[in-house]
Amino acid sequence: MTVAVIGLGVIGTHHLNVLKNLGMDVCAVCDIDESKFSSYQLIPHFTDYREMMDTVKPDSVHICTPHYLHAQMIIDALSRNINVLCEKPLCIKSEDIDRILAAEAASKAILGVCHQNRYNPGNLYVKQFVEADPDKAAFVGSGSVVWSRGRDYYNSGEWRGKWATEGGGVLINQALHTLDLLLWILGEPDSVTAMTSNFSLKDVIEVEDTACAMFSGGANFSFFATNASHDSMSVELTLKKRGTEIKVMPKWISINGELVNFDEIQKYDTKACYGSGHEGLMREFYDCVQNGRHFHIDGHEAAKVIRLILAIYKSNGNKINIEG
C-alpha cells in the first residue's frame, strides 16, 4: 500500500516518522516550499498536490497542511478514490462539512481524521470505565486547556491567527482535542452558552486566545481554554457523578483519589503534546483500509467537534442550539 504526505511542517514530519515506524511505503511528498525536499531526496516530491495524486496515484494521502486547505484537499482526494487521513480540524466552515460529507458518501475511499488523543491509554481507560457504568448519563464533566502561545508562535506562519485561514484560535487549534474527548466520552450536547475573547495579542491575531463554554442537553460539561497564560500547564479533564470522580491528566488518572496505572506512553522524537496516539490511530486506519472496514473517526464523527466550536463562536453569551 502506497502513501503520500501533503505538507512537510512539524506535524507532517511526525506523520512521516510514524509511517516509517509502521513500515508503510511512502511514495511521494508534497509541499509548496521546495527547501523542505532536501530531507526527502529519494522520494518523489511535488509542489502541486493534485499533480502528485494524478502522477503517483497513491492508495492514501495524509493531509498535514494549514487548516483552510483541508476541505478542498479532502474532496479532491476522495473524488479520485484515494483514502484520506487528515490532520485536525476536519474543516473550518459549516458549509465545508456538507461538502466533505457529500464527497465521502460518493467515494469508494475512506476518510479518517486525526483525533489521536482518543488512542492514548489513559483516555481509552476512562472511556471504557464510563461506558461500563449503567448510569453513564449521570456523568457531568469539565475540561481545561491552559497554554501559552505568544507573538513568535503566531508569526511563525502567515495562516495562523486569522479567521480565513486558521478558522479560529485556541479552540480550533490547541483545545480541539480536549473538547473532542469530552464529546467522545460523555456524548453530544444539545446547546452551548459561551464567550470568547482576545486578551493578550490584539495587535497580532484577529481570533480568540481565550474561551469558556457551558454545554447542556444530551451531555453536560463545561470547558475553558486559553493561549494567554504566562506559561503552559497540563490539560485537565474531570468527570463526576454521584459517588464517583475521575481526574484525567497527561501522565496519570485517578478515580476517587486513587491513582490508576496504565502502560507508559511510547514517545517519539517530536513534540510531547502529540502523545502516542498517532501510531494507534494510523494502525487502525490502515487496518480498516486493507480490510474494507469502517474507520470510526470519519467525516461524520470529526464534524461533531467542529459544530461545537462553530456554535461557541456564534454564541457571544447567548444559548445556541448545536446543529446535528
- Reported as a pLDDT band with limits 50, 70 and 90, residue 274 is very low
**Is 101 among the domain residues?**
yes
Range 151-168 average pLDDT:
96
- pLDDT tens column, 219-245: 999 999 999 999 999 999 999 999 899
**Last residue within a domain, chosen from 74, 96, 116:** 116
d(CA 222, CA 297): 23
**How far, in Å, CA of 52 to CA of 45, rounded?**
8
Same domain, 102 and 146: no
Residues 128 and 259 in one domain: yes
Which cell numbers in the block locate residue 141?
464533566
How do residues 202-212 score in pLDDT, each as one tens digit?
A: 999 999 999 99
Q: What's the pLDDT band for 145 if we cut at 50, 70, 90?
A: very high
- Same structural domain, 86 and 125: no
Averaged confidence pLDDT in the chain: 94
pLDDT of residue 61: 99
User: Are 49 and 171 found together in one domain?
Assistant: no
Distance CA 4, CA 83 (A): 10
Q: What is the pLDDT of residue 18?
A: 96
261: pLDDT strictly greater than 80: no
What is the predicted pLDDT for the residue at 251? 82
Contact present, 91 and 307 (Cβ < 8 Å): no
Instruction: Please state, in angstroms and rounded to a whole number, the distance separating the CA atoms of residues 206 and 166.
Output: 10
Count the domains in the chain.
2
> Does 286 map to a domain?
no
CATH of the domain at 162: 3.30.360.10
Tell me, yes or no, whether 110 and 124 share the same domain.
Answer: no
pLDDT exceeds cutoff 60 at 323: yes
Q: State whether 112 and 126 are in the same domain.
A: no
State whether 158 and 306 are in the same domain: yes
Residue 64 sits in the same domain as residue 204: no
Please indicate, yes or no, if residue 290 is contained in any of the structural domains: no
% residues pLDDT > 70 (the chain):
95
pLDDT of res. 273: 44
Cα distance between the two ends of the chain? 35
Query: Of 116, 137, 163, which one is at a domain's C-terminal end?
Result: 116
Mean of pLDDT values over 262-269: 40
Please state, in angstroms and rounded to a whole number, the distance separating the CA atoms of residues 15 and 8: 9
Same structural domain for residues 121 and 261?
yes
Rounded mean pLDDT of 128-147?
96
* CA-CA-CA-CA dihedral for 121, 125, 131, 133, to nearest 10: -170
- CA-based nearest residue to 274, from 120, 57, 146: 120
Question: What is the DSSP secondary structure assignment for residue 81, as one 8-state letter?
Answer: T
CATH number at residue 59: 3.40.50.720
C-alpha cell at 122: 489513559
Per the structure, the complete domain to which residue 99 belongs is given by 2-116
The reply to whether 211 falls in a domain is yes
Q: What is the mean pLDDT of residues 151-161?
A: 95
Q: What letter would DSSP give residue 296?
A: S
**Whether residue 144 is found in the same domain as residue 162:** yes
Does residue 273 contact residue 235 with C-beta atoms inside 8 Å? no
- Answer yes or no: is pLDDT of 15 > 90: yes
Give the per-residue pLDDT at 277: 86
Tell me: do 84 and 163 sit in the same domain.
no
Q: Is residue 280 part of a domain?
A: no
**Selection from 9, 5, 7, 18 nearest residue 267 by Cα:** 18
How far apart, in whole angstroms, are the C-alpha atoms of residue 73 and residue 279? 23
Residue 236 lies in a domain: yes
262 confidence band (pLDDT: 50, 70, 90): low
Residue 16 belongs to a domain: yes
Tell me the mean pLDDT in the region 282-301: 97
Contact partners, residue 161, CB within 8 Å, separation at least 6: 154, 169, 201, 204, 205, 206, 207
Domain boundary among 116, 143, 161: 116
Alpha-carbon distance 151 to 149, whole Å? Answer: 7
Is 317 a residue whose pLDDT tops 60? yes
**Predicted local distance difference test score (pLDDT) of residue 128:** 92
Same domain, yes or no: 136 and 266: yes
Averaged over 180-209, what is the pLDDT? 97
Task: Report which of 256, 262, 254 is spatially closest to residue 243, judged by C-alpha positions.
Answer: 256
Answer whether residue 13 is part of any domain: yes
